Amino acid sequence: LKTFNTQFEDLHQRQCQWTVPDTELRESLKLAVGEVLLPAYRSFIKRFGALVESGKNPQKYIRFTPEDLEHMLGEFFEGKTVNEPKR
């Protein structure tokens, strides 16, 4: 989870800066990424979330809810400058 968090934050920063001017293509790309990422993340959290939450400093490892990721994916390819990931 620690690696996933770091990698996703980095990816979010980069992908938000990219611009896909074609609205239909942009939305298709977001949907395609979400269709792969969100079910896998939800499944992982459902399966191992209780184990992580019962440990020390769970917020250190589970930084995002599935809804947070969905919101962040919605910002991809918009051509925005992002300093910090929104949660």
Instruction: Domains for the chain: give ranges and CATH numbers.
Output: 1-75 (1.20.1280.170)
pLDDT at 60: 79
* Closest-CA residue to 15 (of 26, 25, 5, 24): 26
Considering the entire predicted model, what is its pTM?
A: 0.79
Contact 64, 6 (CB under 8 A): no
User: Could you read off the pLDDT of 62-86 as tens digits, one per residue?
Assistant: 899 999 999 999 999 998 875 544 4
What does DSSP assign to residue 77? Answer: T
Q: With residue 61 as reference, give the H or E element that holds it.
A: helix 58-61
